[in-house]
Amino acid sequence: MKTGELRLASDAQLVVAIGRFRHDALSEVYRRHAPAAFGLARRIVGDPARAEEVVQEVFLRLWNLPDRFDAARGTLRTYLLTQTHGRSVDVIRAEAARRAREERDARMTPESSYDLEREVWDLTQAEHVRDALGRLSEGERRAIELAYFGGHTYREVAVLLGEPEGTVKSRIRSGLGRLRDALVDSGIAGPWRES
């Protein structure tokens, strides 16, 4: 069959020519059926670039395995569209599996900004502060907790504790001094002075 006759050849004749490694026969099949295959692939995968890849794979498979087409079972267009549909669904499934895998990996992988060493250091410091607070008298600890952790003023702390404001200030000052000494002794704070 000459190149000019390919336009008049049946699909079955073109597939036989493809089996004889006739590139021009594949080109004719592509001219006839690629637009329909591309339209189907694009509807399924949603992305024109991926749809083009699907169509390319389908026609490459026809080139490599032309004997897979059986004219007794249906038309070449039906065969190519069935192949396109199957490959498009495979692409969608692979994409969904890839996204699920990436999401699972992202959940299992610590964030790059996560600093384990810093986290351990912060926990160690917090433990030392808790221990140091535990060594204070009940009056000192309660006044410091209300003022520094509760965000209350000296006057509010005095009202909450039912104590004179001067007593509260004195307890906070002495408690902070003892807290500082305990933290210096534990090695997490350097010596510092109250201003």
What residue type is 34 in one-letter code? A
Cβ(132)–Cβ(142) below 8 Å = no
Work out the average pLDDT over 155-179.
88
Dump pLDDT digits (tens) for 65-109. 999 999 999 999 999 999 999 999 999 999 999 999 998 887 877
Where residue 187 falls (left for φ over 0; alpha for ψ -120 to 50; beta otherwise) is left
Which pTM value belongs to this model?
0.55
Spell out the domains of the chain, with CATH numbers in brackets.
3-108 (1.10.1740.10), 116-186 (1.10.10.10)
Is there a contact between 160 and 177 (Cβ–Cβ < 8 Å)? no
Residue corresponding to tokens 């004179």: 164
